[in-house]
Structure 1
């Protein structure tokens, strides 16, 4: 890295990538494309053409429901096929989440999924961040929020049967949820990021939302 080029600045941009060919190799609920592409190298040369498969999921929105009065969070337990074969249960504790549909804002997705997955309405939404899930192989971007709720109304079973959703709602004290991150019982990215953000912003949020 040159002295002129800092770690926080990007030397190249979208205009520097050449996609010579793009082919859809699978189209189902999701889509997979194969790309033939090239781009500049940091040493001044150019990368020879190479291929990458790209899993097209689009954007999604996740929300950590938080009750500042009771100091509790709402977590959802549901089955995830991606955990099959690992040394843990494929039923994970997660945040409220859903795919962004065309024309929807992340805030609209948050309210829709809060109702569908947990029977919750968010009184306030505070943006935590946006992050790329796994940019080496998918285009998915997560819009992550913390949402103010009344946790006394949370609980029960939820989900849309036609979408094969089977969701159990848990109301958990913040301290316990953070302990589950620390010992690995919660090990999915959105929940970890959301809960660690809440840990950093805990006092401020309780005062602002109380």
Structure 2
């Protein structure tokens, strides 16, 4: 597979060695930039498949840019460092570097290290997706349970009847259970209850109390 690589290095000899090794592996170097250049900007412009850096030792500025890249445009990142202590190594792993090689910049190693980085990156992204999905499921479950608690309080329903009522409301509105639960929480917040809107609160706040299936008697008067 032919990959597009963004090179980051301050030395022409390193750039030449990396480019020669990548060309031999049938990859394409889309740009060569310095370690103090805006990596995120060039990654956005060049759309590389991976980033490869060769530096004496990754400094705080470079690591900060790689961390920003990991947030905004996650990519496999390879770092070849001439020297490094345990601190920079731990920091590099923390900001999302997929492969970190100390005192090992050789043409024959470039392609295998890149392949390793691609594999590790894919594994990490899969774990991140699983984590995000688990967090989403937990958030949705909590949202539904909070909404059911509000319905039980307002209508005096049993657990089974509350779930059935929530399902009917979701079906009638053409929404999922988490979505209709968020609407209920938003309406409760508008009516002065103890359930503030969650992640979809801005949209949900436009729903009327009647649509959510309950009302609250105004205080006073």
TM-score, length of structure 1 as denominator length: 0.24
Q: Answer with 1 or 2: which has the greater Rg.
A: 2
Structure with greater proportional helix content:
2
Higher strand share: 1
Higher relative contact order at CA 8 Å, sep ≥6: structure 1 or structure 2? 1
